Amino acid sequence: MTRLGRVAKILFTVARYRLDRNIGRFAGHHWWYRFSPLRLLPAPKQTDGARLREALENLGPVFIKFGQILSTRRDLLPADYADELAKLQDQVPPFPSNIAIARIEASLSGKIETLFASFEYTPIASASLAQVHAATTEAGDEVVVKVIRPNIDRVIRKDLALLYTMAALLERLSREARRLKLRAVVRDYEHTIFDELNLLKEAANTATLRRNFTGSPLLYAPKVYWERCTESVLVLERIHAVPISDVAAIKAAGTNMRKLAERGVETFLTQVFTHNFFHADMHPGNIFVDIRDPENPSYVAIDCAIIGTLTAEDQTYLARNIVAFYKGDFGRIARLHIESGWIPAHTDAKEFEAVIRQLCEPLFERPLQDISFGHFLVALFQTARRFEMEVQPQLVLLQKTLLNIEGVGRQLYPQLDLWSTAKPFMEKWMRERYGAKAFLKAMIDHAPTLATELPRLPEALSSAIFKLGELDRLAAAQRAAMDRLTNAVNGQTRRARWRRAAGAALIVAGLGFLWQPLAGIVAAGGDSLSITAGAVAALAGSLLVVRG
């Protein structure tokens, strides 16, 4: 489809799904909305969010992926929009198998018959960026082969150009769109989607997740067959497990549902705080359950294209925020936001504490198991935005993952108390990170360096004392220089003020000299001396005023 044809389809979709009403909701009813011919069409019966979701599905894979990522920005979007966009399904018709095979053979430099002992021509899954085929290696291992769609990068670039244009237009029309920073959202999406096109990154992420949970009863990640992986082809161990969405099958196997739900929370916390490497796309389509031992079920994760990490500082401040919430210490939450740099240092801590208290107090009136951890985090970020908080990408990924995990956990076991499940983990993590054992471990880890540096300690202290004295002398010299500069500026200001005053006086005197001669110049010929003196005085005064 040509660019003009694509634009025409977008405009038709806007009209068909009455997206002008969505734009009007954010931009306000400007003149273009009042005079829009679309208003002659019948008012839609569906909600704004539902119509937007259907429009994105109609526009195709790139827009579907954009809607999915947009649904994670609950700190920006109204709840009804986020809920509807979260329903977007990344399922599209497969492309022909002969094209998939040709791409695999070109990428792996071999014929499909020599690369695999068997290969299923009918794909077992098909999404917007890639599709998956089942196969068997020469050693008899069951694998899945993921291959990127042909020409998808060209399609993405074209649609991204249109998304940028639409975002820029909406930002011009709407203050709300500017607040949402739509162009920045599109830019984040661009980075994410092109990362997903490089399957070597997904292979590396999968291998790291697998290594992190080696021997763990919590999570399993498939084996990577590195010798058959390229940027456009990924070969992984085939997993036989039950999709997390098939709750009926999981229950029918006699699975311990409470343990399964609590292990989901523990898996999330382990990824975020212990490993600092978390699967950030854990929607139901990417999570399976191993129920071979129903009393000790575990999770299986696939599609590791999107991974999140936190800085050590973000980890610490997030953990302390959670512990402070447990204790109802709202002042601590406010101070942590300022100390972490999440909100500006000039923020009034007392005012921010009052807002946090207003947010949290109603929650404490309910049992902890009825409080959504994820929605609390979303509300906290939305509140902090009023104080100029810029939510960072890694925190958005964390928030999205938490919402997914909590939603899945409560679908499996509605009585799940995420807070009581998380509390012992967080307290243990804080002790291990900042307790006496952590201090001793740090001392032992740094013992060789300390042994080398201790003999230099007296010299370093002496040097530090000398440098402190130098800094004091430098500071004193800078203060003296600033005083001289201030005096010079003040003196120049005074001189300029006197010049302006003198200039104004000379102008007045000049006008006095000129008044009578000019008045009588026609009748009596004028007084040339007075005229000359007046002109000189006025000119000199004007120069003084201008220079002053």
Please give the sequence-ordered ranges of beta strands (E in DSSP) within 155-203, or none if there are none: none
At residue 89, what are phi and psi to the nearest 5 degrees? -105, 125
195 is catalytic: no
Question: CA 132 to CA 126: how far, in whole Å?
Answer: 6
| Helix or strand (DSSP H, E) at 105 | helix 97-108
Backbone region of residue 150 per phi and psi (left: phi > 0; alpha: psi in -120 to 50; beta: other values): beta
Q: Pull the structure tokens for residue 259.
A: 């343990």
Taking CA atoms, 498 is separated from 485, 503, 510, in Å, by 20, 8, 18
**Distances in Å between the alpha carbon of 113 and those of 104, 109, 117, 232?**
11, 12, 6, 19
CA neighbor of 262 nearest in space, from 413, 102, 439, 90: 413
Matching residue, tokens 């997030």: 318
Cα 309 from chain centre:
12
Of 375, 178, 216, the residue nearest 296 (C-alpha): 216
Catalytic residue among 75, 159, 281, 303: 281
Confirm if 143 and 166 have CB atoms less than 8 A apart.
Answer: no
Structure token digits, residue 185:
């959202």
User: Residues 6 or more apart from 331 whose CB is under 8 A from it?
Assistant: 349, 353
Residue 382, number of CB atoms within 10 A of its CB: 15
CB within 8 Å of 240: residues ≥ 6 apart: none
> Quick one: residue 317, left, alpha or beta (phi over 0 = left, psi -120 to 50 = alpha)?
alpha
H or E element in which residue 521 lies:
helix 457-524
Do the beta carbons of residue 265 and residue 271 sit within 8 Å? no
Q: Specify the pairing of strand 298-301 against strand 219-220.
A: parallel
Distance CA 318, CA 325 (A): 11
Taken in order 66, 87, 287, 276, the sign of the CA dihedral is: positive
Query: Looking at the annotation, which residues are catalytic?
Result: 281
